[in-house]
Structure 1
């Protein structure tokens, strides 16, 4: 679709209306789930993007985030929610490209994300995103296991029977994780669901600005720490039980400590991180739904792989209580 002349003309008209006639439209990424172009127009650069149908909420969401929290997201130059066409300012290299992935930066990423979540609590449901509430986690897992395990043996999306058995046995534990998180009483809010150093830039004012909200869902705020903690552990080359990971987590938990005791938040975090894996399952499910056969051969196993990761320990080390 994104390679057709018809779409190219449509994209050019969208860019022209917002930034002037483009001198250059360079493909940055062209994947089954989204396409991104670097735009040069009127001597300035920007980025245009469109997502696959299952993730076609980003333009509308980014437009709203730019209104509510312009200090937390990249500037939005234009957004067409009906066509999910988005044009954002080019603020330069990502944090990863800058080599800015030290402990202080990961802590700041976690804290800024929690701050944005807190601001969005009043309108979380109005964002019209997939809602993954802890109370629905067990049903979500059971349905996903049943759906993926029932696929034909040669379907790349299929969940292996032996893994399905293990996940079915895990359902009582999922229920306990959900109960522990639900008992905190935290409100549902936005989960970026792919927050790492490649999706953040440093603005001229020194603030961090996030982008790439195609994977976003609404859910438990602590679940959003799953990706940044896992990526921090990898980039800092830390063992799963390193106290430095807890320093990052604790900084973010402070944002919610007026709603639940910090000790309770810490105790429930491993369970919340396990449930955070479901948001990754969901975003991949949305992407795989409209992939071609060849694309599914390459990427179709992703939902099953993410679902099977429930059997792994949480990113902080140890294991959410199974007993």
Structure 2
């Protein structure tokens, strides 16, 4: 059987496709269901997703590339640790990075298109996501053992240094890559980055799952709350790093300028669940530091996502140096 170790080749191999369809059929059969039509594919360098029609509604098959393969096992563990906050997989093959998931319904993006106040909706979403993170925190070690990347503050300085030594990922000298000047500035920033990480590690907030790509397309609107999905960029990290992508995405969607009070409002709504053990000023400073250092987490996530030889990876490759350049920009919070 051909595994998906070569995205763009393995996933297109008829033998791989046949094995995946057999697995889907078998797992559906164990739940008294069967396929009733052809799958509808969506392929990216980091994953293949099929919409699978069945006799009782659509389900979704996902195969991850080697850099994000841990997502399948992570999905199953999160369903156990935070029931009701994530999709409960129908089946998982953690070794192959395969998962079969129920349909989650409308996303937050779909719901926002129907009107209402998107900021008010995010004010409800973010505390629920924070509750998920707090529920998972005691079991962070289990996630690390599963292979979820270690982006805890104490691990990031070494990862940052290794990333700066990866000239291929940085696209040094190319139009989309780091300039020599930016590269030297980043190397000079290593000590400052390590100090930020040291201070963040001392914030007293426990590391936990950090989605690292939480936007309105990765949240389902469910009866009585929200469910969070698409964990392929996730890591074990300081939880507040989630604000980097989330606030950026909200600002882009709503046309908010950097420093808009609405973004601070969302930050504070997210931080509120931690207020039982920390004062607001401490939490806000930790959020500022977490957003800063998580720019390296984003660069690392993109490097994992693009680890295969798929020719389509070239159109995304600028994301790695792009996120590192953000380290040289002012803090948004």
TM-score between both structures, scaled by the size of structure 1: 0.90
Change (3 A) 1:159 1:296: farther
The answer on 1:37 being equivalent to 2:50 is yes
Structure 2, gaps ≥5 residues long: 1-9
Looking at structure 1, the residues matched to 34 and 136 of structure 2 have their Cα atoms a distance apart, in angstroms, of 35
Q: Quick check: 49-58 or 274-283, which moved more?
A: 274-283
Q: Quick check: 75-84 or 174-183, which moved more?
A: 174-183
Q: 1:238 aligns with which of 244, 248, 256?
A: 256
Q: 1:23 aligns with which of 28, 36, 39?
A: 36
Q: Deviations over 1:286-316 (max 9, x none)?
A: 1222233x33432223212111111123333
Q: 2:131 aligns with which of 94, 100, 115?
A: 115
The answer on 1:49 being equivalent to 2:62 is yes
Q: Deviations over 1:123-151 (max 9, x none)?
A: 11211311112123333223212222797
Looking at structure 2, the residues matched to 146 and 298 of structure 1 have their Cα atoms a distance apart, in angstroms, of 22
Structure 1, gaps ≥5 residues long: 317-323
Asked if structure 1 preserves the Cα contact closer than 8 Å seen for 2:173 and 2:180, the reply is: no
Q: 1:174 is paired with a residue of what secondary structure?
A: helix
| Aligned residue in 1 for 2:312 | 295
Asked if structure 1 preserves the Cα contact closer than 8 Å seen for 2:104 and 2:220, the reply is: yes
Q: 2:15 aligns with which of 6, 13, 27?
A: 6
Q: Deviations over 1:19-48 (max 9, x none)?
A: 233222433420110011111112311111
Looking at structure 1, the residues matched to 133 and 294 of structure 2 have their Cα atoms a distance apart, in angstroms, of 15
Looking at structure 2, the residues matched to 275 and 153 of structure 1 have their Cα atoms a distance apart, in angstroms, of 21
Q: 1:41 is paired with a residue of what secondary structure?
A: coil
| Aligned residue in 2 for 1:67 | 80
Asked if structure 2 preserves the Cα contact closer than 8 Å seen for 1:149 and 1:161, the reply is: no
Looking at structure 1, the residues matched to 37 and 169 of structure 2 have their Cα atoms a distance apart, in angstroms, of 47
Change (3 A) 1:68 1:8: same
Asked if structure 2 preserves the Cα contact closer than 8 Å seen for 1:12 and 1:22, the reply is: no
Looking at structure 2, the residues matched to 199 and 303 of structure 1 have their Cα atoms a distance apart, in angstroms, of 21
Looking at structure 2, the residues matched to 295 and 57 of structure 1 have their Cα atoms a distance apart, in angstroms, of 22
Asked if structure 2 preserves the Cα contact closer than 8 Å seen for 1:2 and 1:8, the reply is: yes
Q: 2:122 aligns with which of 93, 106, 111?
A: 106
Looking at structure 2, the residues matched to 69 and 310 of structure 1 have their Cα atoms a distance apart, in angstroms, of 33
How do residues 1-323 of structure 1 correspond to structure 2 at under 5 angstroms?
1-19=10-28, 20-99=33-112, 102-128=118-144, 129-148=148-167, 159-203=178-222, 205-292=223-310, 294-316=311-333
Q: Quick check: 270-279 or 135-144, which moved more?
A: 135-144
Q: Deviations over 1:91-146 (max 9, x none)?
A: 32321123267012212222111111100111112113111121233332232122
Asked if structure 2 preserves the Cα contact closer than 8 Å seen for 1:34 and 1:51, the reply is: yes
Q: 1:24 is paired with a residue of what secondary structure?
A: coil
Looking at structure 1, the residues matched to 175 and 46 of structure 2 have their Cα atoms a distance apart, in angstroms, of 17
Looking at structure 1, the residues matched to 21 and 69 of structure 2 have their Cα atoms a distance apart, in angstroms, of 19
| Aligned residue in 2 for 1:320 | none
Q: 2:12 is paired with a residue of what secondary structure?
A: coil
How many aligned residue pairs are there? 314
Q: Quick check: 55-64 or 98-107, which moved more?
A: 98-107
Change (3 A) 1:314 1:22: farther
Give 4+ residue runs of structure 1 displaced > 4 Å after superposition. 149-158
Looking at structure 2, the residues matched to 251 and 152 of structure 1 have their Cα atoms a distance apart, in angstroms, of 38
Change (3 A) 1:220 1:150: closer
Change (3 A) 1:77 1:154: same
